[in-house]
């Protein structure tokens, strides 16, 4: 293992710190912004006047764990709703603060109860619809909540629905129920109280169809809709006639974001992503605004808020080599004013650029991938490489400033992220191509991308690692067991080791859409289906492991239970196969506390340096404040006890 002085590397304290500003939201009246920012290292809620963000003040003082990544201004401009959990358990509890008095009040109960915001509305400035599972952990009932008083009234008892769809009058308009074959039906309640089907969505379309919002007058409903086409289009439905009309479509990629006018709630613009993000303007009145904003800076544009008078916008730009930048856009003057960046300490650091590439899989499917290389890497020299596999799997990788890419590239590695089949955003055919292909063609796509990097002279075939979290952790274990000599080593974070035990222990509140797993993985209710899942489970192929493995796990993970990591560690130990197992008693599905992120990165960095030969920053004080526990194999990673 080689080492470099800390000043030559991006310090872990820098790259794995909490952002200084995140989740920036504009008040409806356009006078203030709210955002997350640290108080003693923990992300709290801050509020600032839009005209002078230097006057920002914290309005919460949470000390144990970051607030959740959701902030909602109420339309009364007085209350803000935010969310907290405990130890990574994902039991999100809603709270509100009264900005006039400083009073903080819980809106849902806890512990053991999770919730979400169903609907807000300017017509009811201090009221919300909230869904939570206090009554029955499997189902989310809908409650009407007065955030000023904290009073709640039960609106709908959920007797098996996946979810509900509501309007700006705070009426529940539809309920969604998933059939045993994966099909989804939207139902409407009749005069007699019965729920009657009004819209049917076949299983092949469920990944690309969702209602977004009713117009404010209730005459139209806006959909992102892949029915009758491959990629999700922006579709408007006339509620009187039922007629559908396409507003925008792109055969290359799904539309995934729809920006609505804050008053009329009619579509302004829609966003989709192939390799980079692109906005499609739907309302001609806003064309000049988007022409100006999209040409202003070379980054990818996000619009995170528009005031009720439409005059003030919050615009953000994402870059691959600089932190996210936030701006106030004055629509009347057609001018922008910089507010701040998400991470001032990341400005002018000298990050590496990210390349977007398209790799053709062995069966011809095109895979959008992202590659980062070390700055000033010698031309023509093959590099050690880390294949970084995204979770989900029904998610996707994006272009941008990705901390893991920058961290690993600064250590001398090429870093490759692959949108393998099953990833979302590229149309339903691409998603459905992943059905029944866990440890099959989904893994082949990863191997094909690795082989592309080798063929292109980018990667050294003998020094490639596979690394990922959640599904990415499962893919990592598949890499070690199904292609045991392809990778020099592997890093699995909260990964699934056995698909049967994973499905048997998923959270109670996933039960309403559990049939989705039948469509995507296998029919776990049949003997043949469970045999198939066992065959595709790394746990049952542990004897094939011949390369070093590092595992990271949170004790409170509700998605991938700690038993998934523990059982593969135990199986490896029984067979005398070395493994390093790192455990965090205060984490869940991933590592939320920056102290824990740093400590795991320190271990992973030393592990990768040992087996790939990259550079390594000494551990120094990166274990301080962390709850890291070594359950196995600390001695297998040299350098963990070195002093800076």
Catalytic residues, by residue number, are 470, 557, 589
Q: Which of 171, 176, 221 is nearest to 197 (CA)?
A: 176
Distance, in Å, from the CA atom of 192 to the CA atom of 209, rounded to the nearest integer, reads: 29
Tokens for 426?
């590229």
Q: Which helix (H) or strand (E) holds 444?
A: helix 441-455
Interstrand relation of 233-238 and 414-418 (parallel, antiparallel or unpaired): unpaired
Cis peptide before 253 (omega within 30 of 0): no
Helix H or strand E segment including 284: none
Q: What is the C-alpha to C-alpha distance for residues 103 and 457, in angstroms, rounded to an integer? A: 60
The C-alpha atoms of residue 582 and residue 580 are separated, in whole angstroms, by: 7
> Would you say 195 and 229 are in contact if contact means Cβ atoms under 8 Å apart?
no
Which residues face 97 on adjacent strands? 80, 104
DSSP string, 573-606: HHTT---EEEEETT-BSB--SHHHHHHHHHHHHH
The answer to whether the beta carbons of residues 265 and 213 sit under 8 Å apart is yes
Tokens of 318: 């994402």
Q: Which two tokens stand for residue 41?
A: 């290292």
Tokens of residue 480, six digits: 């070690």
Which helix or strand (DSSP H or E) is residue 216 part of? none
Count the residues in the chain: 644
């Amino acid at each position: 293992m080689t080492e470099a002085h800390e000043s030559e590397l991006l310090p872990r304290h820098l790259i794995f710190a909490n952002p200084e500003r995140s989740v920036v939201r504009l008040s409806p009246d356009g006078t203030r912004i709210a955002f997350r920012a640290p108080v003693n290292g923990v992300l709290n809620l801050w509020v600032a006047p839009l005209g002078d963000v230097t006057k920002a003040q914290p309005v919460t003082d949470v000390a144990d764990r970051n607030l959740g990544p959701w902030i909602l201004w109420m339309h009364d401009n007085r209350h803000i709703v935010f969310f907290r959990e405990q130890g990574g358990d994902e039991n999100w509890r809603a709270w509100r603060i009264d900005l006039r008095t400083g009073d903080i009040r819980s809106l849902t109960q806890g512990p053991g109860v999770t919730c979400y915001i169903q609907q807000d509305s300017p017509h009811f400035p201090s009221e919300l619809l909230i869904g939570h599972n206090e009554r029955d952990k499997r189902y989310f009932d809908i409650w009407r909540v007065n955030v000023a008083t904290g009073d709640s009234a039960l609106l709908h008892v959920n007797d098996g629905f996946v979810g509900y769809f509501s309007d700006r009058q705070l009426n529940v308009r539809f309920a969604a129920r998933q059939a045993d074959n994966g099909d989804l039906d939207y139902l409407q309640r009749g005069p007699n109280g019965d729920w009657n089907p009004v819209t049917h969505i076949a299983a092949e379309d469920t990944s690309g169809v969702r209602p977004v919002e009713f117009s404010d007058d209730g005459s139209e409903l806006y959909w992102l809709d892949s029915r009758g086409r491959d990629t999700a289009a922006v579709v408007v439905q006339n509620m009187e006639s039922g007629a559908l009309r396409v507003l925008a479509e792109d055969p290359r990629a799904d539309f995934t974001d729809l920006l609505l006018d804050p008053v009329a709630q009619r579509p302004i613009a829609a966003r989709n992503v192939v390799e980079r993000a692109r906005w499609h303007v739907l309302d001609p009145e806003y064309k000049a605004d988007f022409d100006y904003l999209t040409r202003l800076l070379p980054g990818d544009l996000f619009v995170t808020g528009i005031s009720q008078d439409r005059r003030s916008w919050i615009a953000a730009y994402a870059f691959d080599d600089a932190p996210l930048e936030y701006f106030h856009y004055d629509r009347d003057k057609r001018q922008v004013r910089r507010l701040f960046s998400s991470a001032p300490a990341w400005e002018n650091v000298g990050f590496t650029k990210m390349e977007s590439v398209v790799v053709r899989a062995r069966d011809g499917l095109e895979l959008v991938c992202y590659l980062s290389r070390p700055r000033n890497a010698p031309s023509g020299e093959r590099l050690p490489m880390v294949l970084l596999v995204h979770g989900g799997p029904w998610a996707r990788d994006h272009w941008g400033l990705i901390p893991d890419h920058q961290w690993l590239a600064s250590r001398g590695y090429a870093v490759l992220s692959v949108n393998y089949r099953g990833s979302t955003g590229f149309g339903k055919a691409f998603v459905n191509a992943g059905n029944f292909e866990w440890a099959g063609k989904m893994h082949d796509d990863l191997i094909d991308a690795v082989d592309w990097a080798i063929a292109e002279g980018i990667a050294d075939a003998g020094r490639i690692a596979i690394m990922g979290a959640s599904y990415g952790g499962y893919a990592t274990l598949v890499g070690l067991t199904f292609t045991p000599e392809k990778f020099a080593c592997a890093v699995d974070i909260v990964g699934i080791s056995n698909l049967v035990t994973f499905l048997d222990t998923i959270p109670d509140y996933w039960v309403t859409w559990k049939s989705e797993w039948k469509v995507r993985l296998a029919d776990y209710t049949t003997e043949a289906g469970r045999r198939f899942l066992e065959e595709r489970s790394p746990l049952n192929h542990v004897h094939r492991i011949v390369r070093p493995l590092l595992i990271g796990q949170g004790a409170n993970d509700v998605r991938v239970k700690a038993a998934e990591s523990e059982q593969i560690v135990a199986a490896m130990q029984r067979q005398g196969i070395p493994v390093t197992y790192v455990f965090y008693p205060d984490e869940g599905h991933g590592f939320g506390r920056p102290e824990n992120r740093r400590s795991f990165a320190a271990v992973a960095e030393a592990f990768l340096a040992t087996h790939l030969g990259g550079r390594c920053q000494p551990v120094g004080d990166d274990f301080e404040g962390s709850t890291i526990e070594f359950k196995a194999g600390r001695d297998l990673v040299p350098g963990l006890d070195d002093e800076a």
